[in-house]
């Protein structure tokens, strides 16, 4: 599979959030590498957990400060992602599925999240945040 590369079309116009979205792309690429080489994905889970904690907190605070109208629905999407991450980590840690299958599932989910969440839901707040959030 081809490595994902950052594109300006992914930019939400807030440098801090764009930098965090670039971390997600790096994690997806790291996961693909671990999956391809049969490596451990535990480090990917740790990185993803850090990403979720920092990014969701920052994004939600910025949306709230800017008065984003669809904040609650956006937060709900974040909570669903956190629930998914907790569930998939539990399955991985229990040994209930092969590491390869888990890595493939996580990889596919994250690529879908990148497309559906960042390119759709995050773009919806772009105009609200631009000009309301300090660089």
In tens, the pLDDT along 8-28 reads 999 999 999 999 999 999 988
Residue 51's pLDDT is 93
Each residue's pLDDT tens digit, 49-102: 999 999 999 999 999 999 999 999 999 999 999 999 999 888 888 876 777 788
Sequence-distant (≥ 6) Cβ neighbours of residue 94 within 8 angstroms: none
Condensed to tens digits (0 to 9), the pLDDT of residues 23-38 reads 999 988 888 887 777 6
pLDDT of residue 114: 84
What Å distances lie between residue 94 and 39, 43, 89, 90, 109, CA to CA?
Answer: 18, 16, 8, 6, 20
87 burial type by CB count under 10 A (0-12 exposed, 13-18 middle, 19+ buried) = exposed
- Is residue 116 within 8 A of residue 81, CB to CB? The reply is no
Q: Which residue has the higher pLDDT, 96 or 5?
A: 5
Q: What is the pTM of this model?
A: 0.87
Token pair 């910025």 is at which residue? Answer: 62
Q: How far apart are CA 113 and CA 48, in angstroms?
A: 13
Say what the pLDDT of residue 133 is: 67
Q: Give SS3 for 69.
A: coil
Estimate to the nearest angstrom the gap between the alpha carbon of 126 and the chain centroid. Answer: 17
């Amino acid at each position: 599979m081809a490595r994902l590369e950052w594109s300006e079309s992914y930019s939400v116009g807030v440098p801090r959030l764009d930098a965090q979205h670039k971390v997600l792309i790096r994690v997806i690429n790291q996961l693909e590498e671990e999956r391809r080489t049969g490596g451990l994905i535990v480090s990917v889970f740790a990185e993803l957990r850090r990403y979720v904690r920092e990014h969701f907190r920052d994004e939600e605070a910025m949306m709230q400060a800017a008065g984003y109208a669809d904040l609650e629905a956006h937060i709900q999407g974040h909570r669903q992602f956190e629930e998914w991450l907790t569930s998939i980590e539990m399955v991985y840690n229990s040994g209930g599925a092969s590491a390869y299958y888990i890595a493939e599932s996580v990889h596919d989910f994250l690529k879908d999240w990148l497309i559906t969440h960042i390119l759709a839901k995050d773009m919806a707040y772009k105009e609200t945040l631009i000009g309301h959030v300090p660089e």
